[in-house]
Amino acid sequence: MKKLINAPENVVAEALRGMAAAHPDLAVDHENRVVSRAGGPTQGKVGVVSGGGSGHEPLHGGFVGYGMLDAAAPGEIFTSPVPDQILAATTAANGAAGVLHLVKNYTGDVLNFRMAAELAEDEDIEVATVVINDDVAVEDSTYTAGRRGVGATVFAEKVAGAAAESGTDLAGVARVAAEVNDRTRSFGVALTPCIVPTAGQPGFELGEDEVELGIGIHGEPGRRRGKLAPARELVAHAMDAVHADMPLSGSVVVMLNGMGATPLVELYVAYAEVASWLEGHGVTVARNLVGNYITSLDMAGFSVTVGRFTDELLQLWDAPVQTPALRWGR
Amino acid sequence: MKKLINAPENVVAEALRGMAAAHPDLAVDHENRVVSRAGGPTQGKVGVVSGGGSGHEPLHGGFVGYGMLDAAAPGEIFTSPVPDQILAATTAANGAAGVLHLVKNYTGDVLNFRMAAELAEDEDIEVATVVINDDVAVEDSTYTAGRRGVGATVFAEKVAGAAAESGTDLAGVARVAAEVNDRTRSFGVALTPCIVPTAGQPGFELGEDEVELGIGIHGEPGRRRGKLAPARELVAHAMDAVHADMPLSGSVVVMLNGMGATPLVELYVAYAEVASWLEGHGVTVARNLVGNYITSLDMAGFSVTVGRFTDELLQLWDAPVQTPALRWGR
Amino acid sequence: MNVELCLAWMLRFSELVDAEADRLTALDAAIGDGDHGVNMRRGMQAAVAALGESPPETPGSVLVATGRALVSKTGGAAGPLYGTGFRRAGKALTDTELASAAEVGAALVAMLAGIQDLGQAAEGDKTMVDALAPAVSAFEASAGEGLAAAAEAAAKAAAEGAVATVPLQARKGRASYLGERSIGHEDPGAASTALLLRALAEVTTES
Amino acid sequence: MNVELCLAWMLRFSELVDAEADRLTALDAAIGDGDHGVNMRRGMQAAVAALGESPPETPGSVLVATGRALVSKTGGAAGPLYGTGFRRAGKALTDTELASAAEVGAALVAMLAGIQDLGQAAEGDKTMVDALAPAVSAFEASAGEGLAAAAEAAAKAAAEGAVATVPLQARKGRASYLGERSIGHEDPGAASTALLLRALAEVTTES
Ligand SMILES: Nc1ncnc2c1ncn2[C@@H]1O[C@H](COP(=O)(O)OP(=O)(O)O)[C@@H](O)[C@H]1O
Ligand SMILES: Nc1ncnc2c1ncn2[C@@H]1O[C@H](COP(=O)(O)OP(=O)(O)O)[C@@H](O)[C@H]1O
Ligand SMILES: [Mg+2]
Ligand SMILES: [Mg+2]
Ligand SMILES: [Mg+2]
Ligand SMILES: [Mg+2]
């Protein structure tokens, strides 16, 4: 295992030190492991909180700031945060207008956020929860823990953050976040596994000519193994899977996301294929993101996320945002 | 070789297709291989052009836009662009107030830009050239081709772009770019080699416990091989090298740059070490960047770039910029 | 079971988790996300520390304190599930100072119910429930023979239950994402539950 | 050397570059950036295409057109250096239709001068100059024996010059960044220059 770290067990704590040093607009509570806006919560504004295991950077801490999250609770690598920590984030985000929890659909995240919401309610903070579950690689049935939350989380954080910033109430902010989730689907492909620092070795082995299709963001194997193929085919596989689940038409917001170790030049090659797949299916791109937004440590690969945004959602997307990882309009 | 590409020889052309699709603010001339602002050159404004081999994304194309470059000429992977192409970029940037060429100090880049400048002068475009050479790993002597241009390129493009945007004349824009170069130093460390797509294999082999110290951005081995060490030590090695060449004091602009395959969480761990090294040496950080800005394909590793900015340079740094890879203030 | 025995149980569980952390993590790496061993070690170390700082006076409060520490330090799915299970078990013991085998059995029943209420996993879903449920049944069936015998039976059943998860396809937790590819691997949570019952058997036989 | 022979030279050079591209790239990967073979192949293919599209009428214009194509299609350090070298060589031949061995020798001298003017490399700096300079001397020394003999001597000297770069420490180009670590590797540009002279020897012996 070759990593630019000091000690495997200190990665999260030290990365938070680095974030604090790099971003004066952020406040980092090292004891509680909470990243929030340096200015504190905005009174009268709905707070937007997310969190989950670390290893997905810039998600979530990199999305804290004006127009997006108020606070994030980063757990250990791939381990959901604990209720006390989520409560601390909720408190840091609380402007007395209620707090939205944006939770990726993993058993651990859902349970810990649920416990935190109960604790918050004991402290008279109103909490609404929207669970994100956009990964079409997993069937949503009684035979699974339900679909994983992946790329739609970035979209939901942006849109909910904009709605909250504009003065929308808790129910309204939760509604747009839920709508983003309903209208967004994702699919991921790994070219290499990743290595959890404390595990020291990859979760699976892949041959030089193999890929994993239908991966999540926790280094788990995908739904099935496939052959390494040109970007065109891998992208088509992902787009077809999204399209089969949620037929695409009209105009969409699309994110071509890198898993952490895939260089930008390759992401652009893949995005060219996304764009031509969409064009070939008569779908136009309203907005796009190409880059590393929700990663899986040092995994090479990509995921594609497509959202069928309404005009309202697109307007919220375009609203100013000022965070370490997403910034426009100010 | 596992890459998210279609064919090794088409990587640059296809990545440019992806860039064009992703960024409506950019115009991509596929025939000449030029990335420029969609709005065309600004009349009366000095044009700022850079270019060089591809494989360093987002450099340079990702820095085209308001407040930074007017046009970029991306060559083949690690191969400097050709004179005709640089001329086309120069023409695309020409607002009749002269054009600045920002050239990284590599024999190929210097020679091709020099030829292009001659061609541009034949077409009555006034060209000034600033060569960037900030890499302290290489001694600047008659025994080398001189120091390599690395991270200072990002700083120079930002500052020169801001000066040009504010109406400064060609000599003035060249002056601030040269000043940035004079006041900036860099040092890089590789944890893994990278693979040039058409070569298909790494330029060197590194053991599980080895690193290369003093690397450039072209996958070449460094000045020497070292042992894999904690981030703290690798960062100290880099900072010491910079400090030995240009003693640091006062307030600096610092960039902790990823080489392409190093995930953000590791870059933050390393940045925490940069921040504490600086603090330990009584140096304060005026501004910082942490992320992938000037990469070397799929190499894992980092480089650190430190600039002793004057007030004037810092003001230009803070000026609004709107490019795919660097954006603030609008 | 008095408070010392209950403390010894938790301590032994923590030791076993520590010793087997790499195996638990490796199991989780195969069908999950490779953190179960690290999570359980962190959680149980916190529990042992908490128990050391303010030593509880009844077996029930040992389990409640353990549960609280697990909830606030473990994270992941296992943290809330085990945490809730321990708290429910502790509460079932009320403030008894010396719990009989039958009372310990009832506490284990409450633990299982707590985990199932929260996690909604049924037997056969390839989770910790597949180790705990047969352990609880075995314990209850042998409770008449005394705590040590019941614990031994429960440990055996839990270990078998854990191994029996190998051919199952997961329907809960991360492993369910793999669909059929989850078949052929032991569930990490079931493996850690087996350690919990082994710890109980060891401390009760010794005492 | 008439125009046909000069065209044949360029064609053979392109073929040799194509056949040896992987070796040139591998040499460059060791002490440079792993693109020299790909660069030279792209450049010479463009040159051959340009020569095919509008066939020049004199040996000099063959070399000038080759140089122009190399400058505009090769990139890297080799593009401007070879491009300038070929253009200077071509211009040295003026509009001669049949260049004598001595005239070809003068063209090679001009090529070397062009490359050195632009690149400022001296012999011993571990560059293409280390193959070209001895080749030019050898050619001139044997020019009296006719073109084929001179070319043969030059090819031999260039090949030896290329191999002799192995123990050198680079002082120009990318390899110079490696300092002492550049020692022990053959310079890729010297290797491609050796191919240029080999091509000349082959076409002149055949003709
Ligand atoms: N719904 C559930 N009910 C019961 N146990 C579960 C459930 N979901 C997961 N588990 C258990 O949790 C274990 C994984 O724990 P851990 O790795 O610590 O958490 P995470 O999956 O969040 O990384 C699984 O092996 C399984 O036994
Ligand atoms: N200043 C110079 N003078 C002469 N030849 C040079 C000089 N710099 C580099 N070269 C030659 O160019 C070769 C490298 O060419 P190439 O790999 O195509 O370009 P780049 O180094 O830009 O990638 C070197 O092996 C060397 O022979
Ligand atoms: Mg986990
Ligand atoms: Mg090159
Ligand atoms: Mg796990
Ligand atoms: Mg090269």
Other residues' Cβ atoms within 10 Å of the Cβ of residue B182: 14
Per-residue pLDDT tens digits for D111-152: 999 999 999 999 999 999 999 999 999 999 999 999 999 999
Catalytic site residue B23? no
Give pLDDT, residue B223: 86
The stretch B49-63 carries a mean pLDDT of 98
The catalytic residue among A23, A56, A101, A243 is: A56
Per-residue pLDDT tens digits for D162-181: 999 999 999 999 999 998 99
Share of chain B above pLDDT 90, in %: 95
The answer to whether A198 contacts C38, with C-beta atoms less than 8 Å apart, is yes
Contacts of A54 in chain B (CB under 8 A): 265
Closest CA to C151 of C191, C87, C108, C90: C108
The answer to whether C77 contacts A107, with C-beta atoms less than 8 Å apart, is yes
Cα–Cα separations (whole angstroms), residue C12 to B67, C18, C112: 64, 10, 20
Please report the residues numbered 157 through 196 in chain B whose beta carbons come closer than 8 angstroms to any beta carbon of chain A.
191-192
A327 touches B at CB < 8 Å? yes
How near does any CA of chain A get to the CA of C169, in Å? 9
Per-residue pLDDT tens digits for D73-117: 999 999 999 999 999 999 999 999 999 999 999 999 999 999 999
- C-alpha to C-alpha distance for A119 and B129, rounded to whole angstroms: 63
Number of residues that make up chain D = 207
B58 preceded by cis ω (within 30°)?
yes
Å from CA of A214 to ligand 6 middle: 38
Per-residue 3-state assignment (H helix, E strand, C coil) for chain C: CCHHHHHHHHHHHHHHHHHHHHHHHHHHHHHCCCCHHHHHHHHHHHHHHHHHHCCCCCHHHHHHHHHHHHHHHCCCCHHHHHHHHHHHHHHHCCCCCCCCHHHHHHHHHHHHHHHHHHHCCCCCCCCCHHHHHHHHHHHHHHHHHCHHHHHHHHHHHHHHHHHCCCCCCCCCCHHHHHHHHHCCCCCHHHHHHHHHHHHHHHHHHHC
Give pLDDT, residue B144: 82
What's the mean per-residue pLDDT of chain B? 97
Give pLDDT, residue A221: 87
How near does any CA of chain A get to the CA of C192, in Å? 16
| Global ipTM | 0.94
What's the mean per-residue pLDDT of chain C? 97
Among C74, C128, C130, C165, which residue has the most ligand 1 atoms within 8 Å of its CB, making it the best to mutate? Answer: C128
- C-alpha to C-alpha distance for A256 and A180, rounded to whole angstroms: 17
Looking at the predicted structure, is the pLDDT value of residue B141 above 90?
no
Among A56, A107, A143, A218, which residue has the most ligand 1 atoms within 8 Å of its CB, making it the best to mutate? Answer: A107
Å from CA of A137 to ligand 3 middle: 19
Cα–Cα separations (whole angstroms), residue A240 to B5, B31, C45, D103: 19, 31, 47, 66
Closest CA to D143 of D153, D134, D157, D155: D153
Give pLDDT, residue D10: 98
Looking at the predicted structure, is the pLDDT value of residue A108 above 80?
yes
How near does any CA of chain A get to the CA of B198, in Å? 14
Give pLDDT, residue D207: 77
The stretch D39-66 carries a mean pLDDT of 97
Total beta-carbon pairs less than 8 A apart between chain A and chain C: 124
- Listed range (A218-227, B106-115, C85-94, D143-152) with the worst mean pLDDT: A218-227
Q: What is the DSSP letter of B247?
A: -
Task: Look at residue D20 and give its three-state secondary structure.
Answer: helix
How near does any CA of chain C get to the CA of A254, in Å? 24
The answer to whether B15 contacts A288, with C-beta atoms less than 8 Å apart, is no
Q: Which atom of ligand 2 is nearest to the CA of D192?
A: 27
Looking at the predicted structure, is the pLDDT value of residue C3 above 90?
yes
Give pLDDT, residue C99: 98
Å from CA of B102 to ligand 5 middle: 49
The answer to whether D33 contacts B78, with C-beta atoms less than 8 Å apart, is yes
Looking at the predicted structure, is the pLDDT value of residue B288 above 90?
yes
Contacts of C73 in chain A (CB under 8 A): 82
Give pLDDT, residue B176: 98
Give pLDDT, residue A140: 74
> Do A and C touch, counting CB pairs below 8 Å (3 needed)?
yes
Q: Which atom of ligand 1 is nearest to the CA of A145?
A: 1
Residue A71 binned pLDDT confidence (cut-offs 50, 70, 90): very high
Burial class (CB in 10 A: 0-12, 13-18, 19+), C143: buried
Higher pLDDT, D206 or A191: A191
Phi, psi of D22 (to 5 degrees): -65, -40
Residue identified by tokens 């491609």 is: D192
Catalytic site residue B60? no
Residue D154 binned pLDDT confidence (cut-offs 50, 70, 90): very high
Burial class (CB in 10 A: 0-12, 13-18, 19+), B231: buried
Interface probe for C, chosen from A31, A112, A299 (most Cβ of C below 10 Å), is A112
